Amino acid sequence: MQAKKGVLVTGGAGYIGSHVVKQLGEMGERIVVLDNLSTGFREAVLYGDLIEGDTGDTELVRHVLREYQVEAILHFAAHTIVPESVADPLKYYGNNTCKTRNLLQCAAEAGVRHFIFSSTAAVYGIPDGPFCTEAAQPSPINPYGSSKLMSEWMLRDLSAASDLKHVILRYFNVAGSDPDGRIGQSTRNATLLIKVAAEVAVGKRDRLFVFGTDYPTRDGTGVRDYIHVTDLADAHVRALDYLRAGGASTVLNCGYGHGYSVREVIDAVHRVLGRPIAVEERPRRPGDPPQLVAAVDRLHATFQWTPRFDDLDFIVRTSLDWERKLMAHPWGGVTG
């Protein structure tokens, strides 16, 4: 019997990638994860084979694509910290853009037909209106967003020149952890608000810093569209089904279509925890827009997608549950 064609997940030992691997594995897909474990952790890979390596390693990528007869790539491997990208832009262009170019070259040579790219709302910069729509002209205000947008352009142009079809998923603020409690977000030195708040709640940090209280928003703090990681992982599974069914290349926002301010998130943490956490206000950080909320009509229409966990308290609760689990049974390293 001919071996089942493979699905390559780059960065599959990281936060979002590991949740996608879990769902693909539960569906019986033949998975190979390529991760250099710089921010990921091997225990997060619940299904498939894990190969420790880098998307910039041309010979290794070629070998993996050939060995596993890869027909689809889900590309998560990237640096993702906005302030770090401002301080060290070449690190982000080197890893996020140049290595993606290498992966695309190898994919084209191997005849890979389906490519799902982990992009970001940071490509929009500061939106003109209350919602970011896919039709808006991208205008990133930090190197992280720019590095991702360049990768989008390469993917667009390669698809136009070949048989490769792609789905670009522009994430808004991903949060929460697997409701089953098997995997979660364990990033060391995390910067995502809900993760950091959960660490404060369990005593890993002394306080939560609020960067900017003078934005032109309803309470002066930044507003973001928070999507539960399990719903986001489901969108990736649907993207793969869509491409396999012959879907055309497309770009889709991934969010819930409404936002919460930093203060509203802190209030939710207080509700779920049952007590307040220490909070300290600080000036704005460079590269942070006042508001990022997704227009999600295209996502719903394209995939007939309905989120299961559009509830801020539930998102916070799964984050806190995972943080408590890490305190009781810490993983032996860094995870994405």
pTM of the model: 0.94
List, for residues 180-199, the tens digit of each pLDDT value.
999 999 877 788 899 999 99
Write the DSSP symbol of residue 5.
P
Whole-number Å distance between alpha carbons of 190 and 286: 17
Sign of the Cα pseudo-torsion (192, 149, 64, 55, in order) = negative
Q: What is the mean pLDDT of the chain?
A: 94
In sequence order, the β-bridge partners of residue 33 are 9, 50
Q: What is the mean pLDDT of residues 309-328?
A: 95
List, for residues 264-305, the tens digit of each pLDDT value.
999 999 999 999 999 999 999 876 788 989 999 999 999 999
Residues 6+ apart with CB under 8 A from 291: 127, 130, 215, 217, 222, 223, 224, 259
Give the tokens for residue 46.
């619940």
Domain positions in the chain are 6-175+226-254, 193-224+257-328
Give the tokens for residue 102.
């290498």
Kindly indicate whether the domain formed by 6-175+226-254 is annotated with CATH number 3.40.50.720: yes
List, for residues 147-170, the tens digit of each pLDDT value.
999 999 999 999 999 999 999 999
Q: What is the mean pLDDT of residues 53-65?
A: 97
Q: How confident is the model at residue 328 (pLDDT cuts 50, 70, 90)?
A: confident
Q: How confident is the model at residue 126 (pLDDT cuts 50, 70, 90)?
A: confident
Q: Which residues are catalytic?
A: 144
List, for residues 18-35, the tens digit of each pLDDT value.
999 999 999 999 999 999
| pLDDT at residue 102 greater than cutoff 50 | yes
Which CATH fold would you assign to the domain 193-224+257-328?
UDP-galactose 4-epimerase; domain 1 (3.90.25)
